[in-house]
Amino acid sequence: MAVAHSSMRMAYLNLLVDKGADGVALVTINKPKSLNCLDTATVAEIEAAFTELGRDGAVKCIILTGAGDKAFVAGGDIAEMSVKNPRTGREYGLAGQRALFAIERCPKPVIAAINGYALGGGTEIAMACDIRIASEKAKMGQPEVGLGVTPGFAGTQRLPRIVNRGRGKELVMSGATIDAAEALRIGLVERVVPHDRLMESARTMAASIASKGPLAVTYAKALLNLAENVPLDQGCAAEAEAFGACFSTHDQKEGMAAFVEKRKPDFKGA
């Protein structure tokens, strides 16, 4: 599906960030020669990009992918990590966690289009996204223990929450790599599609999300994230507050009027 894009491009050294006229932004980690590995500079750019996109009222949904045909993100920059000490290693881990929180807490839905190897930091970045679509060529895993370190970008925390406790422990402690079919089976990704249809599938999903009421989608993402961290009664109370707040918006009135009148709604994000 062809999607028209505007010329609005945010300037980064290691990322391509294109904001489409349809409200869908595409973030590409653009280091194909190194399989899009995560050095300190790239991690900082990811945090900055998602912070900025989260504040952009024209952006309604974001797709995150990797440049080239081999890797989403093959992992951290091993050469850079190999000379770290306990202090700088901790700082690198915290920087990665901040970048992933910027993705997870971005008010706009984020779709990971996993186009190849997503290992270590690659799997961790994918897990910070809201929805994961994988190419049938994708490979995922947390191989860090084979390098003598633990995951550092919250892999030990998000993986058992997304799959299950035992499977998460198995993958982290064994350092095993799994294929796309197994990632789908255990719930690590939501969809697996033919490699040449990955971006089409991601764009179709993003366009569907972008066509909905932006404020409602933002509230829904916040509530869904909250559900992982609070008891059911607290989550339900927060949902009732958000549901009520929607009735003060233009989008609620427009969305319901359009439904009754059998026409397409004209949402304003207000």
Task: Give catalytic residues, as residue numbers.
Answer: 124, 144
Residue 35 φ/ψ, nearest 5 degrees = 55, 35
Q: What is the rounded CA–CA span in Å between residue 96 and residue 144?
A: 15
Helix (H) or strand (E) holding 11: strand 5-11
Say which amino acid occupies 7: S
Q: What is the rounded CA–CA span in Å between residue 19 and residue 10?
A: 8
CA distances from 75 to 12, 29, 45, 150, 201 (A): 20, 12, 16, 13, 24
Q: Is 211 helix (H, G, I), strand (E, B) or coil?
A: coil
